[in-house]
Amino acid sequence: MTKKEPKISIITINYNDRVGLEKTILSVRGQTSLDQCEHIIIDAASKDGSLDVILKYADQFSFWSSESDRGVYDGQNKGILNSKGEYILFINSGDVLADEHTLSKILSYELNSDLIYGDMYIESKDGRYRLGKQPSTMTVRHLLLDTIWHPACLIKKELFERYGLYDLNFRIAADYEFWLKVFSFGVSTEHISVPFSRFNLEGLSSAPQNQNSLLQERKKAQSLYFNRITLFLYRDILGTIRSSFLLGKFLLRKILVLLKLKTA
């Protein structure tokens, strides 16, 4: 009997994070439904004992490697090329699935769209999680101001085969460039009301010291797919309006707090 190909390929990228890697592996292993999924580990020749962790659970992976690469996106590209699933889900080292029923919940939906995205728990500096929600409808306008969270998005592998892998010329925003590229060609999207993962803010693109580089790379990607008028209208003007609105809400909260203190 021919073995049925998996529906979802979970790809985990790791470099010198053996503790986070094992945490992620155990999260996947603990799922109540794995029969339609595979787990792929791509390690960038870690020196901290990560290889021992990989070998400990090697029989759980459909593919794994431990070799030098050119960064996170090179590792993700390797994972994509060695995947067999219809959809790709990136859960990198240190991140975990939202709970033990996450994959069952996702697979309970009829998965047909090119991009199927959900919500995500985001870890704050004090270790607490808040539920971050993505928009019910994904638009180019949203992408010009924000992004799609890759730990909360199933990407149809066919998109990589049709439009290419992650562009390694983008060091920390190759996923963002990929979103803009596929949207420029036209993709089908669907939001499902499922928290996919628990994400910590210690990743490359989330680090404070990388925010300026991230902004510049995003602007570079935007210039490849949109003209200046579109960028001015949607990114610059709407971005300014949104920033002003958020600042206004912040100041209003501060004023209300001060008024309460004075009347107490």
Statement to judge: residues 120 and 197 lie in one domain? yes
Statement to judge: residues 62 and 171 lie in one domain? yes
Statement to judge: residues 131 and 163 lie in one domain? yes
Residues 6 or more apart whose CB falls under 8 angstroms from that of 198 comprise 95, 96, 97, 98, 120, 121, 123, 129
Q: Is residue 35 part of a domain?
A: yes
Statement to judge: residues 166 and 216 lie in one domain? yes
Q: Is residue 3 part of a domain?
A: no
Q: Is residue 1 part of a domain?
A: no
Q: Which amino acid is at 94?
A: G
Instruction: Output the tens digit of pLDDT for each of the chain's 264 residues.
Output: 446 789 999 999 999 999 999 999 999 999 998 999 999 999 999 999 999 999 999 999 999 999 999 999 999 999 999 999 999 999 999 999 999 999 999 999 999 999 999 999 998 777 889 999 999 999 888 888 889 999 999 999 999 999 999 999 999 999 999 999 999 899 999 999 999 999 986 654 555 567 889 989 998 998 898 875 465 455 445 545 444 544 455 444 554 445 454 444
Statement to judge: residues 94 and 128 lie in one domain? yes
Q: Is residue 205 part of a domain?
A: yes
Statement to judge: residues 118 and 198 lie in one domain? yes
Structural domains counted in the chain = 2
Statement to judge: residues 165 and 258 lie in one domain? no
The boundaries of the domain holding residue 235 are 227-264
* CA dist., res. 131 & res. 151, Å (int): 13
Statement to judge: residues 134 and 245 lie in one domain? no
Statement to judge: residues 263 and 145 lie in one domain? no
Statement to judge: residues 239 and 217 lie in one domain? no
Q: Is residue 2 part of a domain?
A: no
Which long-range contacts (C-beta less than 8 Å, at least 24 apart) are formed by 52-60?
52/18, 53/18, 53/21, 53/22, 53/25, 54/21, 56/22, 57/25, 57/29, 60/25, 60/28, 60/29
Statement to judge: residues 166 and 112 lie in one domain? yes
- The SS3 call for residue 66 is strand
Q: Is residue 54 part of a domain?
A: yes
Q: Is residue 185 part of a domain?
A: yes
Statement to judge: residues 152 and 250 lie in one domain? no
Read off the CATH number of the domain in which 161 is found. Answer: 3.90.550.10
Q: Is residue 39 part of a domain?
A: yes
CA angle 180, 201, 49 (to 5 degrees): 105
